[in-house]
Amino acid sequence: MLQDIERYLACPLCAQDLTRHDRSLRCPSGHSFDLAKQGYVSLLAGDAHTGTGDTAGMVAARSDFLAAGHYRPIADALAEAAVAAAAATAGDRAGGPAAESGGLVADLGAGTGHYLAHVLDALPDRVGAALDISKYALRRAAKAHPRIGAVVCDAWRPLPLRDASAELMLNVFAPRNGPEIRRALRPGGTLLLVSPTARHLRELVDALGLLSVDEEKQRRIDEKLGPYLTPADRREVEFTLRLGPQDVRTVVGMGPSAWHTDPERLEASLAALPDPVEVTASVTVAAYRR
């Protein structure tokens, strides 16, 4: 529910705290944001557009793909890493102030809330903020778990989160903004970042002529986050997907290739694939601490 996370939210225009007034969130300067009846709130700055977000059709296909369990090993690895990060944070505070229950897990680029819901299942006393630019995705995220609040925002603008509000942040195949992640994380808090390795979907990259992930991706992520966060832990998760033609279309649409693939050529290449086709899924789950 949105009420669970309102105390962590900040005005996207002036960064002051937001508080609830009936069906809107307001800051002391009078900026006001109406709650959507589908259970989310849009905290976009006035001149931002959601045109770069996913369409309803893309969101539905992605939701079906994730619900079918194809990426379950990734969700499981993320939940394990989240439990480990929570234990490390609690350990840091031993002897100090008691660890606060109800701490915030913020998922940047949360999509339909699939991964955040999985993490909240593993952390029963935390609440989750699903942040995304797509309102279609967030309509689903708002219903994905009882402890999720869903917020439309732009990952490249100041995040609508108060300073040092999040104990844990998640970023799965999504844009990341190092300075804002550092600002919103508590000291000692953790960012869990899931990114594809160069082997991710390699059979489809070859067969369908998709963009490949370059070998240097992890090093470039570390360089970009380096000024703000410290790498703590990482593991690779690799498994085999068995995909029918519709699953292949979805997985292509979920990656960076979505905007660079000619639909006719894609369909012709798809017809030449075995059904089902075996495809490698390969990601890194990396933890960074503030």
Of 30 and 274, the one with the shorter C-beta distance to Zn ion is 30
By CB under 5 A, tell whether 27 contacts Zn ion.
yes
Binding mask 113-152 for Zn ion (x = CB under 5 A): ----------------------------------------
- Provide, rounded to whole angstroms, the least separation between the CB of residue 8 and Zn ion: 16
Q: What distance in Å separates the CA atoms of residue 190 and residue 181, rounded to the nearest whole number?
A: 10
**Site residues for Zn ion, window 52-91 (CB under 5 A)?**
none
Q: Does 285 bind Zn ion (CB under 5 A)?
A: no
Q: How far is the CB of 30 from Zn ion (least distance, A)?
A: 7
Closest CA to 126 of 106, 109, 110: 106
Q: Is 19 in the site for Zn ion (CB under 5 A)?
A: no
Q: Does 41 bind Zn ion (CB under 5 A)?
A: no
11 vs 148, beta carbon nearer Zn ion? 11
Q: Does 11 bind Zn ion (CB under 5 A)?
A: yes
Binding mask 235-254 for Zn ion (x = CB under 5 A): --------------------
Give whichever of 46 and 95 is closer to Zn ion, judged by the CB atom: 46
Judged by CB, which is closer to Zn ion: 17, or 64? Answer: 17
Q: Which segment (25-33, 53-61, 137-145, 267-275) binds Zn ion by CB under 5 A?
A: 25-33
Residue whose CB is less far from Zn ion, 29 or 230:
29
How far apart are CB 16 and Zn ion at their closest, in Å? 5
Which residues of the chain form contacts with Zn ion (CB under 5 A)? Answer: 11, 13-14, 27, 29, 31
